[in-house]
Each structure stands twice: as C-alpha cells, then as structure tokens.
C-alpha cells in the first residue's frame, strides 16, 4: 500500500478511513477532517496531496474531496472539487455500510463503482470484475450490490442531492441537506 494521496482538509478532529478490499485486506487508508455527523451519516473532508489520473478525470494536488458515509446504505460518495470549490464530479463506491468505532471509519469495497461527472453523466465501473467474482459473492450480498447501484443511478438521474449541482461553487452544507441525511432529533 502506497502513501495516501489525501490529508485532512482542516484543523480539528481527524478521522482515519480504512477501505478494505473485497477479500478483507486493507486496500487503502487515509486521514480526513470531520465535517458533520447525524444518526444517518458521517461526512469527512480531505485534500489531495498528489495528482491522480483516471481515464477521463484528473484530481490535482490541492483538490478537495468531501466523503459522505451513510451508515445504512451499501455505498459511500466522494465529491471532488477543485481548490476553488468548483465541482469536478463524484465517485460512488459500492461497499458495505461503514462501521464507525472511535474515530475510524471502515468499509469493505464490493467491486462495483459509479463515476459521475459534474454534468451528471455517469459510468458504472468494474461490471466485468463483479461478474468474474460473482460465484464468490453470497446471493444476499450480490442483491445489496445491485440495489446500491440502482439507488445511486436513481439519485443521479433524478438530480437528488448531492447530484443536484452542475459545477458551481461548493455549498458547505450540501450533505447536511441531502435527502439521504435526516437531522438528529
């Protein structure tokens, strides 16, 4: 595992995020700043410490990522913005609902991902890998993966928060107002 490309985005409480591979081994880990928490989700922020290139998307050093971890959903969403706060897109990782223990968030990657551009066009990623490993995945877990994919696609196509923006400056309360997050009472 190489050095993490992320560092906490602000002073204050720091959380450790651990992403496990499908087989349970640690795939990646990083530190992020605490932004908010409700009974339904925790939101963290980080800053890119190096350039990361993907097929048609590049994260530059200094870009911001807001990481939304709903406690009951089988996915988490990373929202990317440039250093000025202009939205670049979202990366949705389908995985087990996160566990939160002390200041550590842990989730297991379940192979399938969705990349969403700022214009809300999207691509479902790693479907071939999921099909290759299907025999290793218990039927109830496979259903959860498909349900998470369908829910994310519905959210994107319906323009639900956080996918209701088109590149304007980042709203600091975007996830707090998300239809996925209800305020604690």
Q: What is the mean pLDDT of residues 166-175?
A: 46
| Residue 129, φ and ψ in degrees, nearest 5 | -65, -40
Residue 167 pLDDT greater than 70, yes or no:
no
Q: Please, what is the average pLDDT of the chain?
A: 85
pLDDT tens readout for residues 94-139: 999 999 999 999 999 999 999 999 999 999 999 999 999 999 999 9
Q: Domains (ranges, CATH) in the chain?
A: 6-157 (2.40.380.10)
142 Cβ contact partners less than 8 Å away, ≥ 6 residues apart = 134
Give me the long-range contacts of 139-148 (CB less than 8 A, separation at least 24): 141/110, 144/74, 144/110, 145/74, 145/94, 145/110, 145/111, 145/112, 147/74, 148/73, 148/74, 148/75, 148/94, 148/110, 148/112
In this structure, what DSSP letter does residue 38 have?
Answer: -
Confidence of residue 182 (pLDDT cuts 50, 70, 90): very low
Q: How confident is the model at residue 184, as a pLDDT?
A: 31
CA distance 168 to 72: 29
Residue 169 pLDDT greater than 70, yes or no:
no
Residue 185 pLDDT greater than 50, yes or no:
no
CA distance 167 to 185: 32
CA distance 80 to 121: 15
CA distance 139 to 142: 5
Q: How confident is the model at residue 5, as a pLDDT?
A: 66
CB count, 10 Å around CB of 37?
A: 17
pTM for the structure as a whole: 0.83
Q: How confident is the model at residue 11, as a pLDDT?
A: 75
Of 123, 127, 122, nearest to 142 by C-alpha is: 127
| Residue 136, φ and ψ in degrees, nearest 5 | -85, -10
pLDDT tens readout for residues 42-66: 999 998 888 888 777 888 888 899 9
């Amino acid at each position: 595992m190489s050095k993490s490309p992320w560092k906490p985005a602000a002073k204050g409480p720091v959380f450790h995020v651990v992403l496990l591979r499908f087989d349970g081994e640690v795939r990646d880990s990083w530190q992020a700043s605490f932004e908010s928490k409700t009974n339904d989700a925790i939101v963290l922020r980080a800053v890119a410490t190096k350039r990361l290139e993907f097929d048609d998307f590049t994260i530059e050093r200094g870009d911001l990522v807001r990481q939304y971890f709903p406690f009951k959903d089988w996915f988490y969403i990373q929202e990317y913005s440039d250093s000025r706060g202009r939205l670049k897109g979202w990366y949705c990782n389908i995985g087990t609902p996160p566990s939160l223990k002390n200041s550590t968030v842990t989730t297991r990657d379940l192979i399938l991902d969705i990349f969403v551009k700022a214009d809300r066009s999207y691509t479902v990623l790693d479907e071939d890998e999921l099909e290759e490993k299907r025999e290793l995945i218990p039927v109830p877990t496979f259903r959860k993966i498909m349900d998470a994919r369908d829910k994310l696609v519905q959210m994107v196509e319906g323009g639900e928060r956080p996918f209701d923006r088109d590149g304007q400056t980042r709203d600091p309360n975007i996830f707090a107002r998300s239809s996925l997050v209800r305020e604690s009472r």
